[in-house]
Amino acid sequence: MSRIKLHDNYFKPFITAHRIAETVAAMAQQIKKDLSDDEVPVFVGIMNGSFVFTADFIRVYEGNCEVSFVKLASYEEDRSTGTVKRLFGLDENLEGKTVIILEDIIDTGTTLEEIYEIFRDKKLKQLKIATLFFKPDVFRKGLPIDYIGISIPDKFIVGYGLDYNGLGRNLTNVYQLTTKKMTNIVLFGPPGAGKGTQAEILKKKYNLIHISTGDVFRFNIKNETELGMLAKSYMDNGDLVPDKVTIDMLEAEVDKNPDANGFIFDGFPRTEDQAKALDTFLAKKEEGINGMVALEVPEDLLVERLLERGKTSGRPDDQDEEKIRNRFNEYNTKTAVLQQYYEAQSKYYGVNGVGSIDTVTGRLSEVIDKL
């Protein structure tokens, strides 16, 4: 799930389609269990928002049932009675039947109360209310809510039948309104692909903070911060710096920039555990990774570039082809794991890294613009 934009507002991931499906199935099972074996309930969906919920609900309801949709409308009957409320869409006789109202979301309960009172006059056997989403913080009515799928805070949400000015009903996941517009990118590229050059360009173009793991390590060690000295102690002993130390450094770097438009993470994460830790940290800030963008360049071409660079860079690891290819093996191994991790979230984007700097920047920009 990634951040989306509807009209002029941004919405961040809130509830997954998988969790919704599990909740709907559980509600259907509970209602079936509570009814007698020969009961044929009438499920009534309240338009327009509940049409997705109602359709999914009756598909998993294991029993005979009837279904209908209604809409509450106001009209002027005559001068003496003034404005009255009427349910449109329900014409059959419900006397003696069990009616279960299916609501997509209940907040204050004002509209639902009006609908409930209309149904109470129809001499039903029983009347129950089931809602997929419920906002207990703002509910102000004394109505009995018999079945609640998911209780949520008083936040504006879209998706799964709920809309924002007409848009968003077709989204399978549910999203929450956010005032932030952060773009967080994991930038990957093999040695020699020009990742450092592109990171510098992109951070200026999109006004993002570029966080390079190498730079963060060097800063902390040079300035003898507590984390820097801890990392150095491991390095001096020839040991790998634990993920926890690296993550703490990056979290501190993010916390330094609370008003940032977003971040380019360069050189991190390198393992699935690190990726999960980054997701957990950003989730606490109600943020997330928009995408992993990886520059893709043929290995033989990169070897040529690095050997050529080695003639002037003075770096010994740029002058030995065997060492260069070992670096690629390490990169490919790590990238393959992370690619699978982000692909599972539909967040992996491979970008052709062959061409001029401007050409590659253009390709990267096309991806980032979509994010």
Given this model, what pLDDT does residue 276 score?
92
284 labelled catalytic: no
User: Cα separation of 112 and 29, whole Å?
Assistant: 24
83 has a pLDDT exceeding 60: no
**Residue 130, Cβ density class (10 Å: 0-12 exposed, 13-18 middle, ≥19 buried):** buried
33 labelled catalytic: no
Residue with tokens 């990118």: 185
Given this model, what pLDDT does residue 181 score?
65
Given this model, what pLDDT does residue 9 score?
82
The pLDDT tens digits of the residues spanning 281-339 come to 888 777 889 999 999 888 888 778 778 777 776 677 667 777 778 777 777 777 778 88
Most confident of 80-89, 153-162, 333-342: 153-162
Quick count: other Cβ atoms within 10 Å of Cβ 256?
10
Active-site option among 3, 270, 347, 363 = 270
Annotate 7-59 with DSSP letters as a single string.
Answer: TTEEEEEEE-HHHHHHHHHHHHHHHHHHS-TT---EEEEETTTTHHHHHHHHH
Is the pTM for the entire model greater than 0.85? no
The pLDDT tens digits of the residues spanning 37-60 come to 899 999 999 888 899 999 999 999
311 labelled catalytic: no
Q: Are the C-beta atoms of 174 and 160 separated by less than 8 Å?
A: yes
Given this model, what pLDDT does residue 195 score?
87
Given this model, what pLDDT does residue 169 score?
95
- Of 136 and 307, the structure prediction assigns the larger pLDDT to 136
Q: Taking all residues of the chain, what is their mean pLDDT, rounded to a whole number?
A: 86
Q: Are the C-beta atoms of 299 and 325 separated by less than 8 Å?
A: yes
Active-site option among 128, 195, 203, 347 = 195
Which residue ranges make up each domain of the chain?
4-178, 183-370
User: Cα separation of 256 and 76, whole Å?
Assistant: 59
Given this model, what pLDDT does residue 82 score?
45
305 labelled catalytic: no
315 labelled catalytic: yes
Question: Which pLDDT band, with edges at 50, 70 and 90, does 28 fall under?
Answer: very high
Active-site option among 32, 180, 232, 309 = 309
Token readout for 219 is 């800063």
Q: Which of 197, 262, 251 is nearest to 220 (CA)?
A: 251
User: Cα separation of 338 and 263, whole Å?
Assistant: 18
Active-site option among 141, 244, 315, 370 = 315
Active-site option among 71, 122, 305, 327 = 327
214 has a pLDDT exceeding 90: no
- Of 141 and 65, the structure prediction assigns the larger pLDDT to 65
Question: Which pLDDT band, with edges at 50, 70 and 90, does 149 fall under?
Answer: very high
**Residue 211, Cβ density class (10 Å: 0-12 exposed, 13-18 middle, ≥19 buried):** buried
DSSP state letter for 116: H
User: Cα separation of 139 and 146, whole Å?
Assistant: 14
The pLDDT tens digits of the residues spanning 234-272 come to 888 877 788 888 888 888 888 888 778 899 998 888 888
Given this model, what pLDDT does residue 16 score?
94
Q: Which of 149, 155, 151, 144 is nearest to 119 (CA)?
A: 144
CATH architecture of the region 183-370: 3-Layer(aba) Sandwich (3.40)
- Which CATH number applies to 4-178? 3.40.50.2020
Given this model, what pLDDT does residue 349 score?
94
Domains 4-178 and 183-370 share a fold: yes
Helix H or strand E segment including 183: strand 183-188
